Chains A and B, each alone.
Chain A
Amino acid sequence: MLDIAPTQVKAPAVAASAVTRRYGDGESAVDALRGVTLEVPAGQFTAVMGPSGSGKSTLMHLLAGLDTPSSGTVGIGGVDITAMNDKQLTKLRRKHIGFVFQQFNLLPTLTAEENILLPLSIAGRKTDKADLEALIARVGLQERRDHRPSELSGGQQQRVAIARALISRPTILFADEPTGNLDSASGAEILALLREAVELDGQTTLMVTHDPRAAAAADRVVFIADGRIVADLTEPTEADVLAAVKEAYVR
């Protein structure tokens, strides 16, 4: 599988170095992350797994610059983002980060196509017609491009969301439980689309999930429990994942 991955790996697409995250202070302080170091090389599809409250979502938020670590550093494309202000982070998001959410989070007032183009429109960037057509074709929404989210199925909405995340060719795509709100058939379609982006475009992707089947679609699965990385599997099968889950969740 990895033979398609880019060989000219320089800096990792995203890297966390000894990050901790503590919420609150005093007696009621909660340590969500207790020192995580993780590098996601460019072109890799990484899944982060862990039980609820393990810190996997916190990790993703830190990596995406949505949250600031209590200590440690996060870098995207070799640039430290931990000290960035809101303006710099906004620019970073426009250029380097794509998001796919569990709840799809499409704007109900926009059509499918407009939702896809939203990041470009916000950033004031020109649309490459051919790119857009190719993307719409890839997610299979040619017939539904003028429909509003309320007229689309969950799977279709998530496909719009993926196209929206890919349109700006981000350095890294974050997917937060992308199959969490979908039936298994739709979920499989979404995973196939993510996989395809990795293989065809070398799209670096980091996905948070607790679905072993989803995780098995990744090149690498990182397990988190109690704010620490407890396992790191490369090209696992579903069975490998399940075994690791058992171990991680039982701890």
Chain B
Amino acid sequence: MRSVALKGLAARPVRTLLTTLAIVLGVAMISGALTLTDTMRGGADGLTKAAYDGTDAVVTAKTAFAVSSSDYTAKKPTVDASLLERVRSVPQVAAAVGDISDEAKIIARDGKPAGDGPYFGVGFDSRTTAAKGTTPFRLADGRWATAPGEVVIDASTADKQNYELGSSVKIAAHGTTDAYKVVGVANFGTVKSLGTATFAVFDLRAAQDMFGKAGRYDSILVVGKDGTPAADVRKAIGAELGSAAQVQTAKAQDRFTLDGLKMFIGIITVVLIVFGFVAVLVGAFTIFNTLSITVAQRSREFGLLRMVGAARRQVLGSVLVEALVIGLLASLIGLAAGFGIAKGLDAVFSSMDMDLPDAGMVFAPRTVIVSLLVGTVVTLLAGIVPAWRATRVPPVAALRDAAPGSAKVRLPSRAVRLLASLIGRVTERVGGSAGRLARRNAMRNPGRTAITASAMMIGVALVTLVTVVAQGLRDSTTGSLERRVNATHVITGADGWSPTDPAIAKALAATPGVDGVTAIRQDLALAAGDKEIVNSVDPKTVGGLFTFDWAKGSDDVLTGLGADGSIVDEGWAKEHKLGVGDRFSITSPSGEKLALTVRGIEDSPVIDAISLGPITISQAAYDGAFENRSNVLTFVKAQPGADLSAVFAAHPDAKALTKAAYKEQTTADIDSLLAIFYVLLALAVIVSLFGIVNTLVLSTFERTRELGMLRAVGMSRRQVRRMVRHESIITALIGAGLGIGAGLALAYGVTAAFADEGLSFAVPAGSLIVLVVVAMIAGVLAAILPARRASRLDPLEALAYE
């Protein structure tokens, strides 16, 4: 029995291949995602090793709560330089050095900061020889910086900007931009840099002065004595310092924010796998349809098998074996293809300067198991219903003409038939006789058309959903920015996101033609047991420049915010049962406690483009407790014609955007996210194309005799091709129509759920029209092969066919 199934597959290699392709893509996506991210993770681990392995302990200031490297708003407190001697006095310590890890932007030849961040500005003590082991930097050329005005830059920036030893390079740090002489070029471990990050390594003493940390260090890096376990070294230092500081591993401190990289890798993994699963699901429809059709076509064969004594169970088994083989074959091909995808994506990342140390492709056993399992199990599941149907074929079917019985037409199929009929009217108009026959063909097996179209529907529905929600987000973002930002200009880092030094706001305020400047700062606080982002506004200057969407309160709250006043986000207030007048307290990383009273409640959008935290306090209160003094956003009200350029000439690390440009930039992020989603969903649509191809090929095969007759009564090859093509277009358009409908319904649900947050529902007519056109093109593409096969059919063969 089993060999019957296998021989059937082998006898029709083209069909088998087409069927497997449906699953191959999805499995390839999954295996590619796993391989790629394993490889990237391997690279990231390599970086972690290079960065932190030589350091046995890190001493930092004690924070009131654990602050991790991914808490990007948090400014960690520094330690007093005197601590270094105490650390050195610990017997288990072989060497200890002070470290400065701050931000410094190397200005590129085009006058803008090089790279896209993070922009590491490091103070390195090159005089302490034993310190070499604590740094990941490896000099590729030149020497370490030993005096103010000297710098070592990363090899990636040096290469790209053509900076070499002796070059004078501008670097913006701590509010000033000065020229530095490049005295060395360094690698980070084995790579030239960390993705789009840049490094400027200064002399430690010079860095302390540059970053306003004279007499202080960000951390003290410790190398333990040979033979002393790192944990013991940490314990000994902890005992010596007591509560004065905290001692942790370099990995836990993560001063190069490598955890962020790993988080990013994690997100990529999840996104790629989710879309892989979508593709597999769509593929399952194709498998289901293909097996259903082939089972119907082989009813005579199954009848014969039953007649010669096969039990129902054996018939079931034979179809399931077929599904199993298809699934296994597809998974194996997919697995291999995934390896190729991973390689390709890796190359893409490399070209985007996001390359990681070459750890070689990581092909984990888990990848193999997951890929094979998903592909095989899904295919097998899709084969169950067709297999069960095969068991219902009575032995007498062997004697009957192999006319596939017209099963009951269920309601969904009926709806599809109606759609086919409606869309077919158009093709009938366009395609004449061929178009009319195409319409009838699409209507004759509505169940088959329905499943073929459903595969397409899933992809289109997701595209529609994403488009509508993105449009809603875009509208809500633009709307909320329009309402909240009343400034003429918004100042951000030159990259569009990084904070700017307060010196820039000060310089702007002093510029002629500027009527007002206000800034928002952010840091991290512990509030009600959770880490929350705290924002500051300056009540003296914020009026007329920036405001909130008020749930409770008014602009007067903002300008009258006292030392203990706060504005909280509505969701957060609800979560913590806070109303206007209620009191609560927050703690800064350095341990300062602030007692606050709720003065107003604001309503921020679902995805707040400004990324404000839930708690807003006055700048005076903020500055008293928090250390992060950089301005996340600076709002400027300038008279028309006011010239701000002098400020940005002096501060090339910042830029001014007009309000309109700022709104555009914020929504551009949504657009690029959307683009990624589109690319991934395109995969699902491609898989559904294979479904259409498959169904058409099978239908053509089923209609061989009809095609022969049509050719005999005068149908030209072109007309045959047109007929198949139109049927394909009808099917694709049904899929698109149903998908758009389902997508709109889903989107309506999603937007309704977030309506409170200002997410609106709008039908993006333009995008939907594009979608329909794409579906039509997809239909045309899917028809190429089946149409050619159909038109090449020898009319004579068609008549002789039995």
Q: List A residues at the B interface (Cβ < 8 Å).
A: 61, 64, 66-67, 86-87, 90-91, 93-94, 97-99, 101, 103, 105, 107-110, 118-119, 121-124, 150, 164-165, 168, 176
- Give min CB distance, A76 to chain B, whole Å: 14
Q: Number of residue pairs across A and B with beta carbons under 8 Å?
A: 72
B128 at interface (Cβ–Cβ under 8 A)? no
Whether a CB of chain A sits under 8 angstroms from the CB of B716 is yes
Assess whether B599 is interfacial by the CB under 8 Å rule.
no
Contact across chains for A122 and B712 when beta carbons are under 8 A apart: no
A61 touches B796 (CB 8 A): yes
The CA of A222 and the CA of B15, in the complex, are separated in Å by: 45
Contact of A99 among B433, B705, B712, B717 (CB under 8 A): B712
Q: Judging by beta carbons under 8 Å apart, are B432 and A121 in contact?
A: yes
Q: Which of B406, B434, B717 contacts A90 (CB 8 A)?
A: B717
- By beta carbon, the residue of chain A nearest B796 is A66
Q: A109-B440, A109-B441, A109-B443 are known contacts. Are A122 and B715 too (CB-CB below 8 A)? A: yes
Q: Which residues of B contact A86 (CB under 8 A)?
A: 716-717
Selected contact of B436 from candidates A64, A97, A121, CB within 8 Å: A121
Report the minimal beta-carbon distance from B123 to chain A, rounded to whole angstroms. Answer: 81
- Distance in Å: Cβ of A110 to nearest Cβ of chain B: 7
Q: Nearest chain-B residue to A102 (Cβ)?
A: B799
Q: Once the chains bind, are A94 and B714 in contact (CB under 8 Å)?
A: yes
A64 and B712 alpha carbons, distance in the complex (Å): 9
Query: From residue A27, how far is it (CB to closest CB) to chain B in Å?
Result: 23
Q: List residues of chain A with CB within 8 A of the CB of B706.
A: 105, 107
A119 to B709, CA, bound (A): 10
Contacts of A87 in B (CB 8 A): 716
Q: Considering only CB atoms, which chain B residue lies closest to A104 in the complex?
A: B709
Complex interface: chain A residues within 8 A of B796 (CB): 61, 66-67
24 contacts between A and B (CB under 8 A): A66-B799, A67-B796, A91-B714, A93-B713, A97-B714, A99-B712, A101-B709, A101-B799, A105-B706, A105-B709, A105-B799, A109-B437, A109-B441, A110-B440, A118-B710, A118-B713, A119-B714, A121-B433, A122-B433, A122-B710, A122-B714, A122-B719, A123-B714, A164-B713
| Residue in chain B with minimal CB distance to A93 | B714
Q: Mark B713-742, 1 if CB is under 8 A from A, else 0.
A: 111110100000000000000000000000
Find out whether the CB atom of A109 lies under 8 angstroms from the CB atom of B714: no
Interface string of B617-637 (1 = CB under 8 A from A): 000000000000000000000
Identify which of B434, B437, B717, B719 contacts A107 (C-beta below 8 A): B437
* Interface SS of B by simple majority: helix
A64→B795 CA distance, assembly (Å): 11
List residues of chain B with CB within 8 A of the CB of A165. 713
Please report the C-alpha to C-alpha distance between residue A98 and residue B433 in the assembled complex, in whole angstroms: 18
Min distance, Cβ A91 to any Cβ of chain B, angstroms: 8
Are B433 and A93 interface neighbours, CB within 8 A?
no
Which A residues are in CB contact (< 8 Å) with B540? none
> What does the 1/0 interface line of B691-714 toward A look like (CB < 8 Å)?
000000000000001101111111
Q: With a 10 A CB-CB cut-off, give which of A67, A103, A105, A168 has the most chain B CB atoms.
A: A105
Q: Could you tell me how many residues of chain B have their Cβ less than 8 Å away from some Cβ of chain A?
A: 26
CB-CB contacts of B556-596 with A at 8 A, as 1s and 0s?
00000000000000000000000000000000000000000
Known A-B contacts A61-B796, A66-B799; A107 and B714 likewise in contact (beta carbons under 8 Å)? no
Asked if residues B714 and A90 are in contact (CB atoms below 8 Å), the reply is yes
Is B483 in the interface zone, CB < 8 Å from A? Answer: no
- Which has the most chain A C-beta neighbours within 10 Å: B434, B711, B717? B711
CA distance A176 to B444 in the complex (A): 28
Q: Which 7 pairs, one residue from A and one from B, show the smallest C-beta to C-beta distance?
A: A109-B440, A94-B714, A105-B709, A121-B433, A90-B716, A93-B714, A66-B796
Task: Tell whether, in the assembled complex, residue B715 and residue A90 are in contact, meaning their CB atoms are under 8 Å apart.
Answer: yes
**B444 engages A119 (CB within 8 Å):** no
* Chain B residues with CB below 8 A from A94, complex form: 713-714
CB contacts (< 8 Å) of B709 on chain A: these are 99, 101, 105, 107
Q: Which residue of A lies closest to B439 (CB)?
A: A109
In the bound complex, residues from chain B placing their C-beta under 8 Å from that of A122 are 433-434, 710, 713-715, 719
| Interchain nearest-CB distance for B443 vs A (Å) | 7
Please provide the chain B residues from 168 to 214 with a CB less than 8 Å away from any CB of chain A in the complex: none
CA distance A110 to B444 in the complex (A): 10
Binary CB contact string for chain B from 419 to 441 against chain A (1 if under 8 A, 0 otherwise): 00000000000001110110011
Give the distance to chain B from A176, nearest Cβ to Cβ, in Å: 8
Kindly provide the distance from the CB of A94 to the nearest chain B CB, expressed in whole angstroms. Answer: 4
CB distance from B405 to the nearest CB of A (A): 11
Expressed in whole angstroms, the Cα–Cα distance for A86 and B792 within the complex equals 10
Can you name the residue of chain A whose Cβ is closest to the Cβ of B794?
A66
- Which of B444, B706, B799 is packed against the most chain A CB atoms within 10 Å? B799
Contacts of B714 in A (CB 8 A): 90-91, 93-94, 97, 119, 122-123, 168
In Å, the complex CA distance between A91 and B433 comes to 16
A108-B444 CB under 8 A given contacts A93-B712, A99-B713? yes
Q: Which of B432, B712, B795 has the most CB of A within 10 A?
A: B712
Q: In whole Å, how far is A177's beta carbon from the nearest beta carbon of chain B?
A: 11
Give the complex CA separation of A101 and B800 in angstroms: 11
Closest chain A CB from B718 CB (angstroms): 9
- Across the interface, do B440 and A107 meet the contact criterion of CB distance under 8 Å? yes
A151 to chain B, nearest CB (A): 12
A109→B706 CA distance, assembly (Å): 11
Min CB distance A162 to B, Å, is 13
Expressed in whole angstroms, the minimum distance between the Cβ of A100 and any Cβ of chain B is: 10
CA distance A67 to B708 in the complex (A): 13
Nearest Cβ on chain A to B585's Cβ, whole angstroms: 77
Most buried by B among A66, A108, A124: A66
Q: Which residues of A contact B437 (CB under 8 A)?
A: 107, 109-110
- Chain B, 541-558, CB within 8 A of any chain A CB: none
Cβ-defined contact, B717 with A118, below 8 A: no
Complex Cα spacing A116 to B92, Å: 102
Cβ–Cβ < 8 Å partners of B432 in chain A:
121, 124
| CB neighbours of A150 from chain B (8 A) | 406
Select from chain B the residue with minimum beta-carbon distance to A165.
B713
Bound CA span A99–B717, Å? 18
Per the bound structure, the CA–CA distance linking A107 and B717 in Å amounts to 18
A residues within 8 A CB of B713?
93-94, 98-99, 118-119, 122, 164-165
A105-B708, A107-B710, A118-B710 known; 9 other A-B pairs, CB under 8 Å? Answer: A61-B796, A86-B716, A90-B714, A91-B714, A103-B705, A107-B437, A107-B440, A119-B714, A122-B434
CA distance A211 to B570 in the complex (A): 92
**Which B residues are CB-close (under 8 A) to A164?**
713
With a cutoff of 8 Å between Cβ atoms, the chain A residues found around residue B715 in the complex are 90, 122
B792: nearest residue on chain A (CB-CB)?
A: A86
Whole-angstrom distance between the alpha carbons of A93 and B709 in the complex? 11
A70-B713 Cα distance, complex, nearest whole Å: 24
Query: Which residue of the partner chain B has the closest CB to A103?
Result: B705
Query: In the complex, A12→B714 CA distance in Å?
Result: 22
- Contact partners of B444 in chain A: CB under 8 A: 108-109
Residues on B with C-beta less than 8 A from A176 are 799
Q: Do B436 and A66 touch (CB < 8 A)?
A: no
Interchain nearest-CB distance for A127 vs B (Å): 12
Asked if B716 and A66 sit within 8 Å, CB to CB, the answer is no
Closest to A168 in B: B714
Interface membership of chain B positions 16-35, coded 1 if the CB is closer than 8 angstroms to chain A and 0 otherwise? 00000000000000000000
